[in-house]
Amino acid sequence: MSSENKKTYKRKSTAPKAKKPVKNVKTSAKNTSKNAKANSSAKRKQYKKKQVEKVTKPPIKIAFLGGLNEIGKNLTVFECNDDIIILDCGMAFPDGDMLGVDLVIPDFTYLEQNKDRVKGIVITHAHEDHIGGLPYLLSKVNVPIYGTRLTVGLIENKLREHSLDKVNLHVVETGGFVKLGCFDVELIHVNHSIPDSVGVAIHSPAGVIVHTGDFKIDYTPMSGGMINLSRFSQLGEEGVLALLADSTNASRPGYTATEQTVAESFDTLFRRARHNRIIIATFASNISRVQQIINCAKKFDRKVAFSGRSMVNYMNVAKELGYLEVDDSLIIDIDQLKDYPNEKVVLVTTGSQGEPMSALSRMAYSDHRKVSVGAGDFIIISANPIPGNERTVGNVVDELLKRGCEVVHESMYEVHVSGHACQEELKLLHSLVKPKYFIPVHGEQKHLRKHMDLALSLGMKRSNVFIGDIGKVVELTETQMKEVAPVPSGKVFVDGLGVGDVGSIVLRDRKHLGQDGLIIIVASLDVYDGHVISGPDIVSRGFVYVRESEGLLDEVKERALNILEDCAQRNVHEWGVIKNKIKDDVSKLILQRTRRSPMILPILMEV
């Protein structure tokens, strides 16, 4: 800068400021006051506009068709702006009262009634309690299915078994988005007992709904990396309308153990059973567990065979998609077990839940065509009993012990860790997501209530927590959460190829037959006057041993004959009336004589 310019700059900077007239000061004050009022008015208008926007946001409805107050058959329906999406579609195991039932699926009536509005199904992972109902739903409501690579691969295999080949399956990577009507569904990586498991963030016009799916926080998982906590945290910072979270282990304090503890236990047990044949029962879908078994078998120079159709199918798909790393020379067919000494083989089988038709149950009851167990077999049950299955698992263990097997299960060694989060993990995720509303899912009532208590301990208002049930529907907006009209729901029984043809009446009859047996009364009547031509003949099944109860059966025969002749004398020819009379009178007779109540089945023929 030149000296002349410097002087000019100095003069300008040191020149005295002109005094403003008082009149200008008053004008400025008035202007300032006007500007302040204008700004205040603008802010009020802007605030009102935001409030109107909040109110005018459409509500989102969440309907629960499964997964609440029960273990399994998870199915949740989200509805907004006349669009519907489905999250998971699982099945459940039948309990002891469901005689003859193979599996239980949700009631799809509501989805059938609204199938034109259903945009797609998103699957969180490939466990049966999340995909087992798909073949039955897709036969009625054929919509696209979205999931991660392994999930879709296992679904495709399942649908092939049911001859369903015209289904749109779409692979979505974790972190990816699926556009379904007004919904934008984001898949978020989580840890679970099967690879490629995800939670979801459902971005809707009503707000963001986060559903964890089945999850835990594992810092050292066998595959796939740690759960994406940073994304859950980011969603929490952006604002989450509601959180739906897995409640299975809500009553368990602390943290769920890492899968690495199971690997260490397997190593110890393989050393202990160095002279025995090792048989390990686990879930077919627990691919990480099978990988641990294969790694251990390779370390101890053992061949591996698989037993159980679902186990073989899962392993083939997992290997084909690269989720199971195994040397082909390590795997043998189950028929080749006899070609190797006991200390050189490991058999991986289904049946960890004591299912009657599973491979391990067949072995325990000497009903397996290819494997006989006995002294020298070291059997590991690497799974927790699903609530309700404790007795069946215990029965299988007892039978194996009777045959001289050594049996190890989860309470003896750490041969199984849960795939579900315990209390501290649940609280951590809740704190990261910071939802306005909270809905515990996936569990029985005691699990849901305990999960609610955890949320309340973190500062959640009780009015912002919803404890649901099958068929219930909750409607959410920015300003309120309320329960609305329920939807059709319930349990549908699958028995063989029959779906829904076994109901409560059939189950009641089966239970009746199982407890007290059956008496069949057969008689031939004259077509003209209704008198007895032959019979009645008495057939007993499951009631009494005929040779030792001839006197009682003769009384039954005489009572039935008297009823038939009395009806003929009184000119009663309506078979419904005659049969009911026989049932009532014979039942009373038998109850007096035996204190039992068998099913009475009259069969009448006109000649």
Q: Both tokens of residue 367?
A: 């009903």
Exposed, middle or buried, 365 (CB in 10 Å: 0-12/13-18/19+)? middle
Residue among 88, 196, 246, 495 flagged as catalytic: 246
Residue among 189, 416, 420, 451 flagged as catalytic: 420
Q: What are phi and psi of 437, to 5 degrees?
A: -120, 155
To the nearest 10 degrees (0 to 180), the angle between helices 423-433 and 229-238 is: 40
- Sign of the Cα torsion 325, 328, 334, 336 reads negative
| Type of residue numbered 438 | F
Q: What is the 3-state secondary structure (H, E, C) of 136-196?
A: HHHCCCCCCEEECHHHHHHHHHHHHHCCCCCCCEEECCCCCEEEECCEEEEEEECECCCCC
HSE (side-chain half, CA atoms, 13 Å) at 556: 31
Closest by CA to 341, choosing from 296, 292, 376, 291, is: 376
Q: Which residues of 421-442 are buried (b: 16+ CB within 10 A; e: fewer)?
A: bbbebbeebbebbbbbbbbbbb
C-alpha–C-alpha distance, residues 508 and 97, integer Å: 9
Query: Residue 398 CA to chain centroid, in angstroms?
Result: 28
C-alpha–C-alpha distance, residues 591 and 139, integer Å: 47
C-alpha–C-alpha distance, residues 503 and 170, integer Å: 35
Q: What are phi and psi of 580, to 5 degrees?
A: -65, -35
Judge whether 536 and 523 are in contact, CB under 8 Å: yes
Would you give the DSSP letter of residue 301? T
| Rg of the chain in Å (alpha carbons) | 34
3-class SS of residue 345: strand
3-class SS of residue 579: helix
420 tagged catalytic: yes
C-alpha–C-alpha distance, residues 124 and 120, integer Å: 13
The vertex-564 CA angle with 563 and 565, nearest 5°, equals: 95
Active site residues: 246, 420
